[in-house]
């Protein structure tokens, strides 16, 4: 009896408890139709528009802001830092190490390193790369660097020309790059020899001469960078270059970021490639200019390849 | 000093597209270019709503921030304008704009877009006011005549408001108080954050 007196009045709490629980449930299910509508706007829901065209039925497209932040912020800053850092490291390295000289006297005998067609392919692609890099960097950094120099009108004229050159030559570069990748694919499988080459710093540091095939580990690494980042660069470039296919903004923004990132990587890498091929190594440029390299150079830098040629008897002796 | 803003009252827009037509006619924009458009969500369903959208003349304009040739400028009235003589038609402003405002005369192969065109808040461009060049490149300069953008001026339901942000906000606040709804200031969070 006493228990009932205590408990009965408390049943009221139970019923109100159930009621509030139910209410809460209803509140979760009911949403404000106006708020729903604005949520749809923010979620970039497609509507209907009498104005026909690409994405005209979208009210707010938010990813453009992300693209803007990434392009103007991290990518522009890190791009200049990475490229500047590469140049500084190469300059310091040259001052410290100097040129990698030939360890033996030139023999006067030569072997063929690159055929005429290979050299044409290389130089055409290389010149296009340089033009595309300069015009591309002008569009990214020109506003900060070149407008103070040339003024708005002057830079605009140059930028219009840059944009046009970049857009026309881009696909030509792509043909060059793809033919190089196909042509030299077979020479670029990475193997144990390359691993040893990397462990010895490619002979760049110290006086040892690690073994290498026709292409050494560094050259193969450059090849694979081009075969991956370079291909991504070309494909993203095509997306940007042909707006006539009505691609949507999100794809364009993504492509632009990929294009920027891969371009920065390749430009930095290219500086290294140019340094080693010219100022960094004695006798290296001859191979790509004349096609012939001295046997002393071949034996020092690409011993395995040279031995093979020697076995085949493909050494040219001008005195014979 | 006035800070010009657009506001579209979604409770009033009836998707008549008169703002679109008025804009095209007033500025004689080329075929294919639409400085303004009306978008309807939930079209044909109960509660469908329409909004007229053009360049919102943002405070921190993304187009301005990404332009590689720096051709944009903000007038004292807070109107974002651009110089077509400087524009190289790269398309970056179109990538960045949340409202899809930048328009191009062409969308050709090899990135041939032509000069960018967008809503000028009926304020022309950098050329001399009311000059033939200004009319040719940017359309009519109503602001210099002391008039407001035509799209808003002729809106039959007064859904689209244009003018000084404070005045526009007051007008809208009065409406919201009378109809006991919550204010939904379309696009203002994106365009006028600060």
What are the structural domains of chain A?
A: 64-312 (1.20.950.20)
B contact residues 146-185, partner A, Cβ 8 Å cutoff: 181-182, 184
Quick one: three-class SS letters along chain A?
Answer: CHHHHHHHHHHHHHHHHHHHHHHHHHHHHCCCHHHHHHHHHHCCCCCEECCCCCCCCCCCCCHHHHHHHHHHHHHHHHHHHHHHHHHHHHHHHHHHHCCECCCCCCCCCEEECCCHHHHHHHHHHHHHHHHHHHHHHHHHHHHHHCHHHHHHHHHHHHHHHHHHHHHHHHHHHHHHHHHHHHHHHHHHCCCHHHHHHHHCHHHCCCCCCCCCCCCCHHHHHHHHHHHHHHHHHHHHHHHHHCHHHCCCHHHHHHHHHHHHHHHHHHHHHHHHHHHHHCCCECCHHHHHHCCEEEHHHHHHHCHHHHHHHHHHCCCECCCC
User: Does the structure show a pLDDT above 70 at A30?
Assistant: no
- Tell me phi and psi for residue B72, to 5 degrees: -90, 150
Structure tokens at B126: 């950098």
pLDDT 10s digits, B51-88? 999 999 999 999 999 999 999 999 999 999 999 999 99
Q: Which domain holds residue B160?
A: 4-191
Q: What is the pLDDT of residue B177?
A: 85
User: Is A148 in the B-facing interface, judged by CB distances under 8 Å?
Assistant: no
Each residue's pLDDT tens digit, B134-189: 999 999 999 999 999 999 999 999 999 999 999 999 999 999 888 866 667 778 87
pLDDT value, residue B182: 66
Q: Identify the residue with better confidence: A202 or A85.
A: A85
CB atoms within 10 A of CB B35: 22
| Cβ pair A37:B71 closer than 8 A | no
Q: Is the pLDDT reported for residue A28 higher than 60?
A: no
As for how many domains chain B has, the answer is 1
Report the pLDDT value the prediction gives residue B133, as an integer from 0 to 100: 94
Sign of the Cα torsion A197, A201, A207, A213 reads positive
**Cβ–Cβ under 8 Å, residues B132 and B62:** no
ipTM of the complex: 0.89
**B187 touches A: beta carbon within 8 Å:** yes
Chain B 58-117, residues with CB within 8 Å of chain A CB atoms = 62, 65-71, 83, 85-91, 94-100, 107-113
Residue A59 has its nearest CB partner, among B39, B69, B182, at B39
Q: What pLDDT sits at residue A27?
A: 56
CA-CA-CA-CA torsion sign (B140, B146, B152, B157) = negative
Per the CB < 8 Å rule, is B109 touching A60? no
Q: Which residue of A has its CA nearest to B106?
A: A244
Contacts of B65 (CB under 8 A, 6+ apart): A68, A72, B96
Number of C-beta neighbours around residue B166 at 10 A:
11
Give the C-alpha distances (Å, rounded to integers) separating A254 from A51, A60, A261, B134. Answer: 26, 18, 11, 36
Chain B CB contacts of A249 below 8 Å? 94-95, 100
Query: Are the CB atoms for A258 and A236 separated by under 8 Å?
Result: yes
What's the CATH number where B149 sits?
Answer: 3.30.70.20
Q: At residue A72, does pLDDT exceed 90?
A: yes
- What's the pLDDT at A22? 66
Give the confidence band of A25 by pLDDT, cuts at 50, 70, 90. Answer: low
Q: Chain A interface, mutation test: which of B48, B69, B83, most A Cβ atoms within 10 Å?
A: B69
CA distance A198 to A221: 10
Q: Do A47 and B86 touch (CB under 8 A)?
A: no
> By the CB < 8 Å criterion, does A37 face chain B?
yes
Task: Using DSSP, state whether B93 is helix, strand or coil.
Answer: helix
pLDDT at A240: 95
pLDDT in tens, B114-131: 999 999 999 999 999 999
- pLDDT of A274 reads 96
| Chain A residues touching B33 at Cβ < 8 A | none
Structure tokens at A137: 């960097």
Residue B86 and residue A59: Cβ atoms within 8 Å?
Answer: no
Count interface pairs A-B at CB distance under 8 A.
146
A14 touches chain B (CB under 8 A): no
A29 pLDDT higher than 60: no
Distances (CA, A) of B175 to B155, B162, B182: 16, 15, 10
Q: Does the beta carbon of A240 lie under 8 angstroms from any beta carbon of chain B?
A: yes
Average pLDDT value for residue range A140-160: 95
Segment A252-276 shows an average pLDDT of: 96
Least confident of A93-107, A203-217, A227-241: A203-217
pTM of the model: 0.88
Position A317 confidence tier, pLDDT thresholds 50, 70, 90? confident
Asked if A53 lies within 8 A of B34 by C-beta distance, the reply is yes
**pLDDT at residue B31 in the model:** 85
Using CB atoms, pick whichever of B98, B107, B184 lies closest to residue A34.
B184
């Amino acid at each position: 009896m006493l228990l009932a007196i205590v408990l009965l009045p408390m049943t009221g709490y139970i019923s109100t408890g159930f009621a509030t629980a139910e209410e809460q449930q209803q509140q979760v299910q009911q949403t404000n139709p106006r708020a729903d509508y604005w949520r749809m706007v923010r979620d970039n829901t497609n509507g209907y528009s009498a104005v026909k065209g690409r994405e005209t039925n979208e009210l707010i497209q938010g990813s453009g802001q992300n693209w803007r932040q990434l392009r103007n912020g991290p990518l522009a800053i890190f791009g200049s830092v990475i490229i500047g850092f590469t140049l500084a490291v190469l300059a310091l390295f040259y001052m410290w190490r100097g040129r990698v000289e030939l360890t033996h006297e030139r023999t006067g005998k030569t072997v063929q390193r690159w055929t005429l067609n290979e050299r044409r392919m290389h130089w055409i692609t290389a010149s296009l790369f340089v033009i595309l890099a300069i015009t591309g960097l002008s569009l990214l950094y020109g506003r900060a660097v070149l407008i103070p120099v040339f003024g708005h009108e002057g830079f605009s004229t140059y930028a219009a020309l840059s944009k046009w050159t970049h857009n026309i030559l881009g696909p030509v570069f792509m043909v060059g790059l793809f033919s190089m990748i196909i042509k030299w694919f077979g020479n670029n499988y990475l193997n144990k020899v390359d691993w040893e080459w990397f462990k010895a710093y490619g002979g760049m540091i110290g006086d040892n001469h690690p073994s290498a095939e026709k292409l050494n580990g560094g050259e193969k690494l450059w090849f694979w960078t081009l075969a991956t980042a370079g291909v991504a660069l070309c494909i993203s470039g095509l997306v940007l270059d042909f707006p006539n296919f009505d691609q949507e903004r999100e794809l364009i923004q993504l492509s632009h970021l990929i294009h920027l990132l891969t371009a920065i990587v390749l430009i930095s890498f290219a500086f290294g490639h140019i340094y080693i091929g010219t100022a960094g190594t004695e006798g290296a440029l001859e191979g790509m200019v004349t096609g012939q390299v001295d046997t002393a150079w071949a034996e020092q830098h690409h011993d395995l390849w040279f031995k093979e040629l020697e076995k085949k008897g493909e050494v040219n002796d001008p005195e014979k | 000093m006035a800070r010009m803003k657009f506001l579209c009252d979604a409770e009033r827009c009836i998707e008549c597209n008169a703002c679109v037509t008025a804009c095209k006619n007033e500025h004689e924009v080329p075929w294919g270019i639409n400085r303004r458009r009306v978008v309807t969500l939930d079209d044909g369903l109960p509660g469908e709503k329409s909004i007229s959208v053009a360049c919102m003349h943002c405070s921190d304009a993304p187009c301005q921030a990404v332009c590689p040739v720096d051709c944009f400028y903000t007038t004292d009235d807070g109107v974002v304008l651009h110089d077509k003589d400087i524009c190289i038609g790269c398309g970056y402003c179109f990538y960045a704009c949340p409202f899809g405002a930048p328009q191009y005369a062409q969308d050709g192969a090899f990135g041939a877009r032509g000069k960018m065109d967008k809503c000028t808040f009926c304020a022309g461009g950098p050329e001399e006011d009311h000059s033939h060049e200004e009319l040719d490149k940017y359309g009519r300069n109503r602001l210099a005549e002391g008039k407001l953008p035509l799209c808003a001026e002729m809106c039959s339901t007064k859904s689209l408001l244009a003018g000084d942000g404070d005045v526009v906000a007051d007008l809208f606040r009065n409406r919201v108080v009378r109809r006991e709804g919550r204010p939904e200031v379309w696009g203002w969070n994106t365009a006028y954050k600060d």
